[in-house]
Chains A and B, each alone.
Chain A
Amino acid sequence: DAGVIQSPRHEVTEMGQEVTLRCKPISGHDYLFWYRQTMMRGLELLIYFNNNVPIDDSGMPEDRFSAKMPNASFSTLKIQPSEPRDSAVYFCASRGPWDRGNTEAFFGQGTRLTVV
């Protein structure tokens, strides 16, 4: 398995532009998580899905952020409009079904976002 795949790996954009981050979870995994990591705040959970349904989006900072999971193999995190304070590394992670003993969450390599 190729693991969790995120794109792009790096993104530099101007303030006010729309940014879309993409994630392909591991096949068969039913949980998908979006995290943001900064030096100051560490890893923060933004939103997670179970079977493509958003379960908890309380970590999404504000209305400028939105996430979708149209099918089991794809998710997007969109920021519109982007601001310099959104600069961070955004990680996507996935985990398999709980009832099959899956506990480990596997992370993608992250997208390093810089908003100038």
Chain B
Amino acid sequence: RKEVEQDPGPFNVPEGATVAFNCTYSNSASQSFFWYRQDCRKEPKLLMSVYSSGNEDGRFTAQLNRASQYISLLIRDSKLSDSATYLCVVAAYSGAGSYQLTFGKGTKLSVIP
């Protein structure tokens, strides 16, 4: 089983649509969770951290279910500029400098006019 799994997509949605991405992870000792965004031929950049209570940043909502080892990202009112690949990221820190930062392969989103 892959450490972090995502539906690769692509998701092709019209402007204004709501789209949801899901992610599962295998390491139950993981402590921090993130969504990164990667534009074509660019480096990944942090979109938002994901907290156990769920968190929202404008049109973006992230949720975490530790029991199911499941993370989600919801994008409301999609914009053309949201077109990118969204990477699910899981971190585990076990002391003595050990910090595993593991990326999913990403879900590609295309928002269509």
Contact of B97 among A33, A50, A93 (CB under 8 A): A50
Tell me, rounded to whole Å, the shortest Cβ–Cβ distance linking B25 to chain A: 14
Q: Complex Cα distance A56/B100, Å?
A: 9
Tell me, rounded to whole Å, the shortest Cβ–Cβ distance linking B31 to chain A: 10
**Interchain CB contact under 8 A, B103 and A43:** yes
Contact with B along A15-39 (1 / 0, CB 8 A): 0000000000000000101010000
Is residue A53 within 8 Å, beta carbon to beta carbon, of the partner chain? yes
Q: Complex Cα distance A91/B102, Å?
A: 14
**Interchain CB contact under 8 A, B87 and A103:** no
Is residue A55 within 8 Å, beta carbon to beta carbon, of the partner chain? yes
Report A-chain residues with C-beta under 8 Å of the C-beta of B99.
31, 48, 50, 55, 95, 98
Tell me, rounded to whole Å, the shortest Cβ–Cβ distance linking A28 to chain B: 16
Report A-chain residues with C-beta under 8 Å of the C-beta of B105.
41-43
Tell me, rounded to whole Å, the shortest Cβ–Cβ distance linking B42 to chain A: 7
Report B-chain residues with C-beta under 8 Å of the C-beta of A41.
105
**Interchain CB contact under 8 A, B102 and A108:** no
Closest chain B residue, CB of each to CB of A107: B43
Contact of B98 among A45, A55, A91 (CB under 8 A): A55
Tell me, rounded to whole Å, the shortest Cβ–Cβ distance linking A57 to chain B: 13
Name A45-92 residues within 8 Å CB distance of B: 45, 48, 50-51, 53, 55-56, 91
Closest chain B residue, CB of each to CB of A98: B93
Q: Complex Cα distance A35/B43, Å?
A: 11
Interface residues in chain A, defined as those with a beta carbon under 8 Å from any beta carbon in chain B: 31, 33, 35, 41-43, 45, 48, 50-51, 53, 55-56, 91, 93, 95, 98, 103-105, 107-110
Q: List 19 A-B contacts (CB under 8 A).
A: A35-B103, A41-B105, A42-B105, A42-B106, A43-B105, A48-B99, A48-B101, A50-B98, A51-B97, A53-B97, A55-B98, A56-B100, A91-B43, A91-B44, A98-B93, A103-B34, A104-B46, A108-B43, A110-B43
